[in-house]
Amino acid sequence: MKELPEKGFRAIFMRSVLQIVRRPMYWAGFFLLPLFFLFFLTDEMEDGLPQRVPAAIVDKDGSAISRQITQNLGSMQMVDLVEDCNSFTQARHDMQSGKVFGFFLIPEDFQADLLAGRKPVITFYTNMAYFVPASLLFKTFKTTAVYAKAGIAMSVLDAAGAEVDPSTLLMPVNITSRPLGNPGLNYAIYLCNSFVPAVLQLMIFLITCFSLGQEIKYGTSRRLLRMADGSILKALAAKLLPQTVIWLVLVIFMESWLFRWNGYPMHGSWWWLTLSEVMFVLASQGMGVFFFGLLPNLRLSLSISALVGVLSFSLAAFSFPVESMYPALGIFSWVLPTRYNFLIYIDQALNGIPVYYSRVWFVAYIVFMLLPFTMMWNIKRCMKRPAYVP
């Protein structure tokens, strides 16, 4: 077998590869956890939307009209009428114990009041503590109520001998919503494309800081510097290159998994998206090194990586828009690589618009890549005099 060189780029590179291969913890961090999330998030939400929300009906009238409404409601695609309650209290109990996510209440003497023109009120209750199912239920309940109302108005007009078109009665002004790029309102498309890269970003931060911090903790950083002939740039580049390769393979796999095999919308150019993913990896690594340079201590750099990485899921505004946040917090969304990954994905894959509109996001990646150069001196200083502070 050929002897490994003692010094130089290749020697550090091989040393770094061996470190990764020898520690099962790295396998978990590089492969097990990211791949688990990729599979888990896409598989869990495979249906796109949670169909058939459990709900209850409280029919206190028991008349022909109220039974008709119950039947209409039961035939709606999104709702599953699991309970038929006698009272409001019973329905509320079912909601409190989680059996149903909402209920539809038809009051006593509904039919009599309606026909006499006493305007009975239909009320529906949705448990907004569970946002997604309750929103779906809200839509179904509302539609049912509108149908019921139209049916009644129709019969009144019919009885009076007026001829009307049912659709105009139902909704004279009809505003259709066209969800661009995701017509089925698929929750998985919306969520996985932002959360999976954010998981990756978190793992890149953590592993970058962990692998650099280990050198200081175990005092091997001096040897690392010697192997690089005292050049911190060479040491870092050779040390992190194997990780870069692994992350790149993973991110390309992620891109293929989401957009090719799962068929998530891809309306633009594969090249720009791939470029974005590659730059995303480098930007996240850059930020990881920057964190380490800022606090060249294993635990502190990992703490800040974890803090920023976990807050990214909220701060990068995947669900709650930046312009609705307090400006003092919203501003932090601009310092996260995963935010730019998200914006470029929206522009290039979901909407497929010219890359001109995303040019600024690509430049932002470059800024992250250049960040570590501001901290080289500090990393070198600490690598020369490694001291482990728990």
Partner 1 sequence: MWKYIKSRFGDLVRSYFDEFRLVFHDGGIILFFCFLPLAYPIIYSLIYNPEVVRDVKMVVVDHDRTSKSRELVRSLDACQEIRITGYAADLDEAKRAMHGHDCYGILEIPDGFSKRLGRGEQSPAVIYSDMSLLLRYRGFLVAATNVAQEMGAGLLEEKIGHTLPIAATISTGDPLPVENISMGNIENGFDSFIMPGVLVLILHQCIVLASGMAGGARRERTRRGCGEETGSVAMSMAGEMLCYMTILLVPVMFLLHYVPLIFSFPMAGSAFEIFLFILPMVIACMGLGFCFQSIVWEREAVFVLWVVTSVALLFLSGLTWPRYAMSPLWSFIGDMLSATWGVEGFIKMNANGSSLAQVRAEYVNLWLLAAFYLVAGYCLRRWVMRPSLQRAGRSAVG
Under rule CB under 8 A, residue 47 binds partner 1: yes
Query: Under rule CB under 8 A, which residues in 133-172 are in contact with partner 1?
Result: 133-135, 138-139, 141-142, 145-146, 148-149, 152-153, 156-157, 160, 162, 164-165, 167-169, 171-172
Q: Which of 12, 16, 42, 54 binds partner 1 (CB under 8 A)?
A: 54
- Rounded Cα gap, residues 230 and 365, in angstroms: 29
Query: Under rule CB under 8 A, which residues in 247-286 are in contact with partner 1?
Result: none
Please report where in the chains the tokens 């494309």 appear, as a residue. Answer: 193
Nearest-approach distance from CB 11 to partner 1, in angstroms: 25
Under rule CB under 8 A, residue 50 binds partner 1: yes
Q: Which of 315, 344, 382, 383 binds partner 1 (CB under 8 A)?
A: 315
| Nearer Cβ to partner 1 (149/385) | 149
Under rule CB under 8 A, residue 206 binds partner 1: yes
Under rule CB under 8 A, residue 177 binds partner 1: yes
Under rule CB under 8 A, residue 313 binds partner 1: yes
Report whether 266 contacts 181 (CB < 8 A): no
Under rule CB under 8 A, residue 87 binds partner 1: no
| Nearer Cβ to partner 1 (44/229) | 44
174 phi, psi to nearest 5 deg: -115, 105
Nearest-approach distance from CB 385 to partner 1, in angstroms: 20
Q: Which of 62, 89, 131, 249 binds partner 1 (CB under 8 A)?
A: 131
| Nearer Cβ to partner 1 (54/372) | 54
Give the count of residues interacting with partner 1 (CB under 8 A). 116
Nearest-approach distance from CB 1 to partner 1, in angstroms: 29
- Amino acid, res. 136: L
230 phi, psi to nearest 5 deg: 80, 5
Number of neighbours of residue 265 by Cβ within 10 angstroms: 19
Please report where in the chains the tokens 């601009």 appear, as a residue. Answer: 334
Q: Which of 58, 76, 79, 199 binds partner 1 (CB under 8 A)?
A: 199
The window from 98-106, 241-249, 266-274, 282-290 that contacts partner 1 (CB under 8 A) reads 98-106
- Rounded Cα gap, residues 280 and 33, in angstroms: 19
Could you tell me which residues come within 8 angstroms of residue 272 by beta carbon, excluding any fewer than 6 positions away?
Answer: 344, 348, 355, 358
Q: Distances in Å between the alpha carbon of 276 and those of 58, 201, 331, 355, 383? A: 53, 13, 22, 11, 32
* CB environment 310-348: b (16+ within 10 A), e (fewer): eebbebbbbeeebeebeeeebebbebbbbbbbbbbbbbb
| Nearer Cβ to partner 1 (47/229) | 47
Under rule CB under 8 A, residue 68 binds partner 1: no
- Rounded Cα gap, residues 124 and 139, in angstroms: 11
Query: Under rule CB under 8 A, which residues in 212-251 are in contact with partner 1?
Result: 213, 217
* CB environment 47-65: b (16+ within 10 A), e (fewer): eeeeeebbbbbbbebebeb
Beta bridge partners of 47: none
Report whether 11 contacts 170 (CB < 8 A): no
The window from 229-237, 243-251, 350-358, 371-379 that contacts partner 1 (CB under 8 A) reads 350-358
Query: Under rule CB under 8 A, which residues in 106-125 are in contact with partner 1?
Result: 114, 117, 119-125
102 phi, psi to nearest 5 deg: 175, 170
Under rule CB under 8 A, residue 334 binds partner 1: no
Nearest-approach distance from CB 72 to partner 1, in angstroms: 14
Nearest-approach distance from CB 362 to partner 1, in angstroms: 15
The window from 278-286, 288-296, 321-329, 368-376 that contacts partner 1 (CB under 8 A) reads 321-329
